[in-house]
Chain A
Amino acid sequence: MAYSSIVYLLPFLGAVVLLYNGMPKKYRWWVLLLASYIFYWLNSPTTLIFLLLSTAAVYLAGIFLNKIQDGFDLSKKALDKEGKKQLRKIVGWQKKAVCAYALLFIFGLLAFLKYYPFVSENINQFLKLLHLENTLPSLKLLLPLGISYYTLQAAGYIIDVYRGKYRADTHLGKVALFLSFFPQIVEGPIARFDQTADQLMEGNRSTYQNLTWGVQLILWGLFKKMVIADRANPFVAEVFKNYAEQSGVALLVGGVLFTIQIYMEFSGCMDIVIGSAQLFGINLPKNFARPFFATSVNDFWRRWHITLGAWLRDYVFYSVSLSKGFAKLSKKAKEKLTPFLGALIPSAAALFCVWICNGIWHGAGWKYLAYGMYYYGIMLLGMLLEPLFARCAAKLKLNREGNAFRIVRILRTCILVVGGMTLFRAETVGAFGEIVYRIFTNFAPQHFYDGTLLHLCIDGWDFIAIAAGCAIVLLVSILQEKGYSLREQIAGQNIIIRWSVYLALILAIIIFGAYGSGYDQVAFIYGQF
């Protein structure tokens, strides 16, 4: 049941909204929890057990951490300073152990189910090289729906409790709903417990404003997915499948179109997801902030898949870079090398961990590791060369804050991102190499205008539709970037203008959407992680 499917949008979502509002306030969260488990069961009946296991694990670990903390608070009053310090140490160890076991369990499940096939295959290949026959069995494992998303939510919760950001919740239903809430379960956004859990339990009535805004967002998401992303899909699929036969121009256009496709699709899905939650008055954290206005790759990742970046920052980057080991290392480096490098080393090392995690989070395979390393390389290079850039700019008297320079930086970022997306979409790292090679050696610029591009599964009209769709999204994005709230602007107009906008959007989806005869329904790319 994809979020863009009729069965989700009409009967499912409609029934849940009606039931939710028909219930007394106290019981509304039950509707959401039940709907979430039904949604999960309808999509992936056999793997529901893994979600339940992870839920139980972090719930129990949380309760344990509470107990340990309570015991400490109770007995510390009677102790002097030295005794307190001792006890704190012991309690610290206990808490660390509980947290570690819980994390080991939930990440163990994820690691086994998601990475076993990849790891075992590579180990077997390695053993073969050594002429060893003992091979690991290849298991056919079902990847539980949304495991990569809910595991991160669960881990964030337990780490926050461990760090003392908030106390663990004793309400099992609340933890269960936080982890399973049906709009988020397939593709995120990855929320924190203190962002959504209370809202989920509140059970506020769906107000007129929430309903209209939710529906608007859902329509906007459908527009992005059906009019732009799905229309670009056949070209992208063809070019990346038969990359060895394509000219550089076709591959380049394929890379750009895939970047457009994945953005429209992922951000469109997030619009549907956030809109769905808004129908119940629940505000989910946003996942996109107009990433293609980013002025650096760093900035791009603050605007693209925001909740993943923030998760990795809070739980990987800071955990590593602020650890005692790195503090010492940094001090030494400062004394023995230069202060610049001393300051850089903890960040560089922590960033390495972040990008390894980012890469393998996206999938089990060398390609995804390479994807992580691609961005790590760019960022590291940027950090190392920053002083040089600054000096050059100063010498040339360039205004690094000016508009012209800003546009150059945005373009540079876009090119780097298209490179990353091409690697992401290519079948293997080798295929990516071949694609880049062909772009540089077999560019064939005449293909831009001789019509070759129009025979790769989509025609000129499709390109026009994609371009027009992108222009509309760009216009909206520029307005948003400038701080206009388009929704408030529209809401402030009279009924004729307001309704015309909505009707135009609906008709645009119905007429220009790539669905029906000749188009297969395209699965969301990000739902497969």
Chain B
Amino acid sequence: MEELLEILENLKPGVDFPAQTDLIEDHILDSMSVVMLVGELNDAFDIEITPVDVVPENFKTVDAIYAMIQRLSDD
């Protein structure tokens, strides 16, 4: 979780990520930053996030992103 927050902080400095309720709707993560984030996450957690996983539900909140990482690492 901390690693994830660190990555997010690097990507968009100054955003209080845990407090956000909808990163997509509030335009904090646009499609560019999602791509950058996916690249970082793939490297950091040794997972493979595919286009199917790139849906708003998986990127809405920090918890949702974390849950997706967990799910993909188990696979």
Contacts and interface: CB of A to CB of B under 8 A. Distances in A.
Interface of A: 163-165, 298-299, 313-315, 317-319, 321-322, 327, 330-331, 343, 346-347, 350, 383
Nearest to B30: A298
B51 A314 contact: yes
B32 A383 contact: yes
Nearest to A310: B31
A318 B42 contact: no
B32 A163 contact: no
Nearest to A348: B32
A165 B50 contact: no
Per CB-CB distance, the 7 closest pairs between chain A and chain B, nearest first, are A163-B52, A318-B51, A343-B36, A321-B35, A347-B32, A347-B35, A318-B54
Interface in B32-51: 32, 35-36, 38-39, 42-43, 49-51
A346 B30 contact: no
Main secondary structure of the interface of B (DSSP, over half): helix
Contacts of A317: 31, 35
Contact of A322 (B27, B30, B32, B51): B51
Contacts of A163: 50-52
Contacts of B39: 327, 330-331, 343, 346
A164 B31 CA distance: 21
Contacts of A347: 32, 35-36
Contacts of B27: 299
Contacts of B50: 163, 322
Nearest to A162: B52
B28 to A, nearest CB: 13
A337 to B, nearest CB: 14
B44 to A, nearest CB: 12
B38 A322 contact: yes
Given A163-B51, A165-B52, A318-B54, A331 B43 contact: yes
B32 A327 contact: no
Given A298-B30, A327-B42, A331-B43, A322 B52 contact: no
B8 to A, nearest CB: 14
A318 B50 CA distance: 8
Contacts of A315: 51
Nearest to A330: B39
Contacts of A322: 35, 38, 49-51, 54
